[in-house]
Structure 1
Amino acid sequence: MTKRTSRAVATAATAAPESGSTRSISVLIADDHVTVREGLAAIIGRQADMHVVAQAVNGREAVTLWQAHRPDITLLDLRMPLLDGVEAIEEICAVDSSARLIMLTTFDTDEDISNAIKAGARGYLLKDAPWEALLDCIRKVHAGEISIPPSMVAKLAVGMSREALTARETGVLSLLAQGKSNKEIATTLQVSEATVKSHLRNIFTKLNVLSRTEAISVAIQRGLVQV
């Protein structure tokens, strides 16, 4: 055997995977908290069937790194700079609707869960879940399954049964949460105060509340507004 042939055989043997071996799950982590990213990377890095390909510090970088690496799984925080988790998921799914994305967050309102699933998330998990649950979620989503804890599925079902606010009602509610008066809301939205009062009546009915303070409290709990 010539030296050239010997080198070619050696190279081929090194590049070829062993019989029966499976490819490691590539994971992209997107979170604006360095301790969270490093903790997740350490846990995932210890698994024989997973490896981290990149880490993003905001939603915009998450989309850019996803395009560069096309990971098997992407873990995204919900609240991030530049683009939040839902917006990042929407941009990624616009390129590849089959992308396997998991929302990993501290927020679990029915609105947050619903928005993530509608955007294209295949999994939803809280950051305080046991690391075994996280790894199980990654493996399930990689296998093509949807992975959402039963408690969140129940919360999502309750949220879906409620009458949804319109875009204008959500806008009024957001301004209400900022402490604006009816007159200020009317000026901001360029409508009459009577129209604002009409929207508030509808909001109170849909949220099943009796006051502005209660409406704001329920809206925050359900993730309808951010303060």
Structure 2
Amino acid sequence: MIRVLLADDQALVRSGLRMLIDSADDMETVGEADNGRDAVAMVRTRRVDVVLMDIRMPVMDGTEATRQITALGGETKVLVLTTFDLDEYVFAAIRGGASGFLLKDAHPDELLGAIRAVADGDAVVAPSATRRLLDRFAPLLPRTTAGPDQRLDVLTDREREVLQEVARGANNAEISERLYMAEGTVKTHIGRLLSKLGARDRVGLVLIAHECGLLDG
């Protein structure tokens, strides 16, 4: 059973999310918080697999709450729910350790699938959202100025190709089709990328690719 904590300052939003989550056979809502501070406190005192985290909340915003939750070093994952007028906050939350983000207008089945994926250790970044978010923030990312980033030197040509597709927002099925390889092989390459680059998850791979200028030109 996937244990989900809801962190949102709007009671109506929390109520709708609770109804959706509790209707699924494999997950349950184990708490609600209307600010980031209370969300962190709940994660400290109970077992939570996934936090659905709003960003703009009183007392402590979702960005700082995400940072504190991931800093605890436990198994709790954070999935950010947002709208695009809050892009800058989402970017900070992802850099703080969030396992991904979805838009609040996502289809219910998409949200449930995202919760399952994050609980299973994957990251959720909708391809269209990835492109829009990183197109906006790529210029703000730290970038090596003295030639190519040496972090990529450990990668094979094939691994670089897979990393490029991940950074463009492609899912495993799309990578499989574009690079003419089985999905199982794609998963193997992504596992190697995570290990070689020291990334926490797929979101980390996207950020590293952009930090290294892999998509430049």
Q: TM-score range by the shorter chain?
A: 0.5 to 0.7
Asked if 1:154 is matched to 2:131, the reply is yes
Q: Write out per-residue CA displacement over residues 55-76 of structure 1, whole angstroms, 9 at most, x where no aligned residue.
A: 1111111111111113011111
Mapped contact 1:30–1:57 kept (Cα < 8 A) = yes
1:58 aligns to what?
A: 35
Q: 1:74 aligns with which of 27, 30, 51?
A: 51
SS at match of 1:121: coil
Partner secondary structure for residue 162 of structure 1 = helix
Larger Rg: 1
> Helix, strand or coil for the counterpart of 2:30?
strand
The question of 1:48 aligning with 2:25 is answered yes
Equivalent pairs: percent with the same residue? Answer: 42
Q: Deviations over 1:159-198 (max 9, x none)?
A: 3431469xxxxxxxxxxxxxxxxxxxxxxxxxxxxxxxxx
Does the residue aligned with 1:104 lie in a helix, a strand or coil?
strand
Code of the residue aligned with 1:48 in structure 2: it is D
Aligned pair in 2 of structure 1 residues 65, 156: CA closer, same or farther (>3 Å)? Answer: same
Q: Does 1:141 align with 2:118?
A: yes
**Which residue matches 1:107?**
84
AA matched with 1:49: D
Gaps of 5+ in 1: 1-23, 166-227
Q: 1:54 to 1:138 in 2, by over 3 A?
A: same
User: How far has the Cα of 1:114 moved from its partner?
Assistant: 1.8
> What is the DSSP-based 3-state SS (H/G/I as helix, E as strand, rest coil) of the residue aligned with 1:75?
strand
Alpha-carbon offset, residue 110 of structure 1: 4.4
Partner of 1:125: 102
TM-score where L is the length of structure 1: 0.59
Give the whole-Å Cα distance in 2 for the aligned partners of 1:107 and 1:66: 27
Count residues in correspondence: 142
The Cα offsets for residues 121-180 of structure 1, whole Å up to 9 and x where unpaired, read as 102011111111110100110111110111121123323431469xxxxxxxxxxxxxxx
One-letter amino acid matched to 2:41: T
Cα 1:125–1:97, aligned 2, differ >3 Å: closer, same or farther?
same
Gaps of 5+ in 2: 143-217
Partners of 1:105 and 1:32 in 2: CA distance: 13
Residue 87 (structure 1) aligns with: 64
Taking the aligned partners of 2:3 and 2:22, their CA distance within structure 1 comes to: 10
Query: Please, what is the CA RMSD of the aligned residues?
Result: 1.8
Q: Using the alignment, how far apart are the partners of 1:27 and 1:142 within structure 2? A: 9
CA drift of 1:109 comes to 5.2
| Structure 1 runs (4+) greater than 2 angstroms displaced | 106-113
| More moved, 91-100 vs 27-36 | 91-100
- The amino acid that maps onto 2:45 is A
